[in-house]
Amino acid sequence: MVEFAQTLVNGLVLGALYSLVALGLTLIYGVMGLANFAQGEFAMIGGFSAFFLVQEGVSYPLAVVIGFAVAGIIGLLVHLLAFYPLRQSNHINMMLSSLGVSLFLVNLAQYLFSPNPQVVKSPLSGESFNLGGIFISQQRVLIVVISFILCLATFLLLKHTKFGRSVQAASLDPDTATLYGVPTKRISFMTFILGVALTGIAGALLAPVYNVYPTMGISLTLKAFVVVVLGGMGNVSGAIAGGVIVGLIESFAGGYISTGFQDAIVFTVLFVVLILKPQGILTKVQGEKV
Amino acid sequence: MNRNRILFWTCILVGMICILSSLYLQNLYILRVAVFAVIAAMLAVSVNLLVGYTGQVSLGQAGFYGIGAYTVGLLTTQWHWSFWLALLAAFILTSLTGLILGLPTTQLKGHFLGIATLGFGIIVNVIFNNWTSLTGGPNGIRGIAPPELFGISLQYENYFLGFSLFCLMVVVLMVHLVVNSAIGRAWKCIRHDEISAQVSGINVYGYKLMAFSLSGGIAGIAGGLYAGFMTFISPETFDLNQSITIITTAILGGPGTLFGPLVGAGVLTVLSESLRALNELRLIIYRAILVTVIVFLPEGIYPFISKKLRKRGIASQLKLKDRRRELDEQDFSQS
Amino acid sequence: MSKILVKAEQVSVKFGGLWAVKKVDVDVKAGEILGIIGPNGAGKSTLLNVLTGLQRPSAGQIQIDNGYVSKKDAWQMVKMGIGRSFQTIRLLNELTVIENLLIGGHLYTKRGLLDVLGRTVRWRKTEQQITNKAMELLQLLGIGHKAQEEISALSLEERRRVEIARALMTRPKVLLLDEPGAGFSPQESDQLCELILSIRNRGISVVLVEHNMKVIMSLADRIIVLDHGQKIADGTPKEISEDELVIRAYLGGEDHA
């Protein structure tokens, strides 16, 4: 029972993180049509920012906020240099460019920060809640709560602001959106920055629990893709729900089947979903017009 | 002899000269780098069938590469098959894997296909790492015997280079023949517009499967060669990084062209080797150059160069000239 | 009574909650020109898509030569003798005219791996045959001199001709043309009429979706009128032009279009 509950909680924590990363990924995909394989590297950037700031004596909450900003700024640079020039090119080239950026950032981090994992100290790391014999560290609760708040905030932002409506218009049909006066170029920049900055926060949040290291982003990116496929490419609420599902699958597969094969199990689920319902399990099917 | 034929036989001749001269190369470092470049070229050719000719993405090519290498490795060490039989088995097995992977995934488009194939690569890699009783886990397989040909052991690098160049030439020749036929036209049509293909009577699904199967098979042969050359294989050679390198090589060189993947492999090998002196900075600069090339030369190096060399058109138009001459003659006879 | 080549019974297509085509019967007889008309959004293109296998019907059956084909893919329909052109031209713009036509000749080539790799005699023969066939068609359609041009260098009218030629390369028994005269000048329309007649004279049935009433009234042996996805009339051009429902659909069409 205790083991089950622990696995459940771990799954929820992972799920919250995946939701956050996938949210950024799906927003970017929706507006730019870019499958951004460099998404997880922004979590790495957020994580290392938090690490260095905390080391320099900055308080952890402030470090998280700065991590958000740093990821956003680097995102702006990356967009300008690697994606914006390719906006007229085909999607395969965009995808490759993002793969290149991903590897570049990993190698750069390995050079600058050494490949070793770093421990980030959060004031909540040591504290835990005791729920009838099940101990849950407060940092984990924080991850779930903050992720939930951010997902909700993004959701509201998209639903109820002018920026949000522009984003929706641009992801439905960029050409028509442009005709209706939506500044699609600016929207695509802003969406990219928002998308990677959210991932940056995820990195800063997970740092005290899972440590930070240069290659940490790769598996995050892959999981986020699984989430996005489950939830439907470009579907915001799908990404949030899909994140929790993947987190739970991974946690239970690791806990009850095999840690070595847990990634293979996650991807097998992905395969099954892709084959049975390529639109994602959480989207309605729409007929394709010839 | 028309121009087309002359070009064809010139290429064959150049290939033969390369093979023969490789036997006299003495520098061990250059030999080893050259063998790896040939294997990289073959992998790029394999993925080019998908990404270049048929317009499908594969981010899991290292999966086929690995299955090919492990098939040869296991069959020769555990069951003592001869290298040649094992290589054939690797080809068949990877072709089948391509077919089976293609059955569900070719229904997917663009990014979804990319993610699905990426998942395939990762699953294969996880299996290599964790099915320890069969694959040896992270330790891999040691002591694969280098192949022998007509009593000559190919453990000498220059012989192996000659042999792998020969394999590459055969593969490229096969690709040339396939691409310049109804199969190649069907692939090209599928890449541009699947509905056009459908109403032209092309079985889109079937031709996509065929591309997947052939592509897997060629990557499998590359894997077999790698196993024979290194005599040692381990999972980390066949990871996501490798898959990305393979597709980047093809796209950098020029997707959808016969020689693009070869140019890509050559350029990347030279680039990577010449950056070796930079030590730790090497990978960073290497990646930065890759992104730069993708951003500024999205159509690839080979088409870019041949466009510069020949003011108009790419090499494939050369052979069209012959058809044009034929057709002009017909025009005359009818008017 | 001539033979029925294609018979669609009660075919329906539903997009979301909307019936794009509802319970339509269509017969295509050998050697006839069948016109399909109707206001915009009446379901004409969808009906063509169903008849060519690009769209699975939500309900209903289609028979070709008395065999049910509702579950077949488009390429299999082509094999059974259904060719078509599109309202928005679908050609490969980066390729030349002749290359586009060779793609249309796909079914009549030797394309097994062994033939292709061995460059067998029969492979050469079939390649030569479809090349000759393609040139012959281009001459017939008056664009033989454009064989080596890229599609992107051609005019709209020439592109439509190339698309029809590609469809003819598949050796159809029934050719479905989706607004082949859209955007044509009166003179070009006249040439198109001649072309369609000459295709019919080769024994190929033509199904013609067209907005130009002059073209359709002069060409069609029989006309089907669609409105809101339903068939509202079926008869000779004369009958159609006097039909109450048709006149109302067209003249009163604006207020509910």
ipTM reported for the complex, 2 dp: 0.89
Nearest CA in chain A to B101: A271
If phi > 0 it is left, if psi is from -120 to 50 it is alpha, else beta; for residue C60 that is: left
- Domains, chain C, with CATH or none: 1-81+173-257 (3.40.50.300), 89-171 (3.40.50.300)
- Count B/C contacts: CB-CB distance under 8 Å: 107
In a domain, A15, yes or no: yes
A157 to chain B, closest Cα gap in Å: 27
In a domain, B212, yes or no: yes
CATH label of the domain that carries residue A212: 1.10.3470
Share of chain C above pLDDT 70, in %: 97
In a domain, A281, yes or no: no
In a domain, A112, yes or no: yes
DSSP classification of residue B285: H
Q: B189 CB near a chain C CB, below 8 Å? A: yes
Whether the CB-CB separation of B169 and B221 falls below 8 Å is answered with no
B26 to chain A, closest Cα gap in Å: 34
Cα distance between residue B239 and residue B61, in whole Å? 9
In a domain, A176, yes or no: yes
Whether the CB-CB separation of B143 and B193 falls below 8 Å is answered with no
DSSP B164-204: HHHHHHHHHHHHHHHHTSHHHHHHHHHHH-HHHHHHTT--H
Q: A286 CB near a chain C CB, below 8 Å? A: yes
In a domain, A184, yes or no: yes
Greatest alpha-carbon span in chain C = 65
Domain ranges, residue A60: 2-276
Beta-sheet pairing, C222-227 with C230-235: antiparallel
Name residue A118's amino acid. Q
Q: Which chains touch B (3 or more CB pairs under 8 A)?
A: A, C
**A134 is written with which tokens?**
């099940």
Domain ranges, residue B19: 3-241
Question: What element of type H or E holds C72?
Answer: none
Cα distance between residue C170 and residue C109, in whole Å? 11
Residue B53 is predicted with a pLDDT of 93
Query: For residue A76, is pLDDT > 60?
Result: yes
Nearest CA in chain A to C54: A290
Name residue C245's amino acid. L
In a domain, B197, yes or no: yes
In a domain, A206, yes or no: yes
Question: Which residues of chain C neighbour A287 with C-beta distances below 8 Å?
Answer: 15-16
Question: What element of type H or E holds A159?
Answer: helix A138-160
Taking only the tens place, the pLDDT of each residue in B48-95 is: 999 999 989 899 999 999 999 999 999 999 888 989 999 999 999 999
Q: A284 CB near a chain C CB, below 8 Å? A: no
**Structural domains counted in chain B:** 1
A245 to chain C, closest Cα gap in Å: 28
Give the mean pLDDT of chain A: 85
**Structural domains counted in chain A:** 1
Question: Which residues of chain C neighbour B323 with C-beta distances below 8 Å?
Answer: 98, 131, 148
Taking only the tens place, the pLDDT of each residue in B2-20 is: 777 888 888 888 888 888 8
Cα distance between residue B307 and residue B295, in whole Å? 18
Question: Which residues of chain C neighbour A290 with C-beta distances below 8 Å?
Answer: 45, 49, 54-55
Nearest CA in chain A to B137: A260
Contact flag C49-A290 (C-beta cutoff 8 Å): yes
Residue A281 is predicted with a pLDDT of 64
Residue tagged 């290589």 (tokens): B87
Q: Which of A204-208, B19-23, B47-51 has the lowest mean pLDDT?
A: B19-23
Q: B41-59 as b/e, with b when 16 or more CB fall inside 10 Å? A: bbbbbbbbbbbbbbbbbbb
Q: B185 CB near a chain C CB, below 8 Å? A: yes
Query: For residue B303, is pLDDT > 70?
Result: yes
Three-state DSSP at C94 gives coil
Whether the CB-CB separation of B306 and B73 falls below 8 Å is answered with no
Distance (Å) of CA B224 to CA B84, B162, B228, C16, C207: 9, 16, 6, 51, 55
Among A264, A80, A41, A50, CA closest to A146: A50
Burial of C93 (0-12, 13-18, 19+ CB in 10 A): middle
Residue tagged 């005019």 (tokens): C155
Residue tagged 């390719």 (tokens): A86
Give the mean pLDDT of chain B: 86
Q: B307 CB near a chain C CB, below 8 Å? A: no
In a domain, B78, yes or no: yes
Q: C55 CB near a chain A CB, below 8 Å? A: yes
Contact flag B193-C92 (C-beta cutoff 8 Å): yes
C244 to chain B, closest Cα gap in Å: 37
Cα distance between residue B138 and residue B132, in whole Å? 8
B310 to chain C, closest Cα gap in Å: 18
Whether the CB-CB separation of A20 and A147 falls below 8 Å is answered with yes
pLDDT band at A289 (very low <50, low <70, confident <90, very high): very low
Q: A287 CB near a chain C CB, below 8 Å? A: yes
